[in-house]
Amino acid sequence: MKKIVVCDHIHNDGIEILKKANDINLVIAYDEAKDELLNTIADAQIVITRSSTPVNQKFLDAAKELQAIIRAGVGVDNVDIDACSKRGIVVMNIPTANTIAAVELTMAHMLSSARSFPYAHSQLKDERIWKRENWYGTELMGKKLGIIGFGNIGSRVGVRSKAFGMEVIAYDPYIHPSKATDLGAKYTTSFDDILACDYITIHTPKNKETTNYITKKEIAKMKDGVILINCARGGLYNEDDLYDGLKSGKIAFAGIDVFISEPATSNKLLDLDNIVVTPHLGANTKESQVKISIQSATNALEVARGISYPNALNLPIKEGEVEAWAESYFELAQRIAFMAAQLNKGVIDSIKIGATGEIKKYLDSLKTFAAVGALREAVGEQVNYVNALFLANERGIEIHGEEENIQTPYKNRISVRVTTNKDTIVVCGTVFDEDTHRIIDINGFDMDINPKGKMILLKNSDVPGVIGDVGTLLGKNNVNIADFRLGRDKNSQAALAVIIVDETVNKEVLEKLAALPAALSVSYVEI
Rounded Cα gap, residues 305 and 287, in angstroms:
27
Rounded Cα gap, residues 397 and 56, in angstroms:
35
The catalytic position among 50, 71, 233, 335 is 233
* Structural domains of the chain, ranges and CATH numbers in brackets: 1-96+285-314 (3.40.50.720), 99-277 (3.40.50.720), 318-452 (3.30.1330.90), 454-527 (3.30.70.260)
- For the purposes of burial, counting CB atoms within 10 Å of the CB of 157, is it exposed (0-12), middle (13-18) or buried (19 or more)? buried
Decide if pLDDT at 82 tops 90.
Answer: no
Which range, 156-160, 307-311, 399-403, has the best average confidence (pLDDT)? 156-160
Query: Could you give the maximum distance between any two Cα atoms of the chain, in Å?
Result: 88
Rounded Cα gap, residues 308 and 298, in angstroms:
11
The catalytic position among 71, 109, 156, 280 is 280
262 a catalytic residue:
yes
Listed residue (16, 17, 13, 48) closest to 30, CA to CA: 48
Listed residue (34, 5, 1) closest to 297, CA to CA: 5
pLDDT attached to residue 283: 85
pLDDT attached to residue 490: 64
Decide if pLDDT at 300 tops 70.
Answer: yes
Using a cut of 0.75, tell me whether the model's pTM lies above it: no
Decide if pLDDT at 511 tops 60.
Answer: yes
Mean pLDDT of 77-83: 84
Q: Please give the residue that has the higher pLDDT: either 137 or 347.
A: 137
pLDDT attached to residue 381: 52
pLDDT in tens, 470-502: 999 999 999 999 999 988 876 768 899 999 999
pLDDT in tens, 415-468: 999 998 888 999 999 999 878 999 999 998 999 999 989 999 999 998 899 999
pLDDT in tens, 262-284: 899 999 999 999 999 999 999 89
C-beta neighbour count of 22 within 10 angstroms = 6
Phi/psi of residue 408, nearest 5 degrees: -150, 145
pLDDT band at 200 (very low <50, low <70, confident <90, very high): very high
Decide if pLDDT at 407 tops 90.
Answer: no
133 a catalytic residue:
no
CB 155 within 8 A of CB 176: no
pLDDT attached to residue 319: 47
pLDDT in tens, 110-125: 999 999 999 999 999 9
128 a catalytic residue:
no
Q: Please give the residue that has the higher pLDDT: either 314 or 460.
A: 460
Listed residue (382, 370, 327) closest to 89, CA to CA: 382
Alpha helix positions (H), 75-169: 81-86, 99-115, 117-125, 152-163
Q: Taking the CA atoms of the chain, what radius of gyration do you get in angstroms?
A: 27
CB 43 within 8 A of CB 65: yes
- Please tell me the total number of residues recorded for the chain in this structure: 527
The catalytic position among 16, 36, 139, 262 is 262
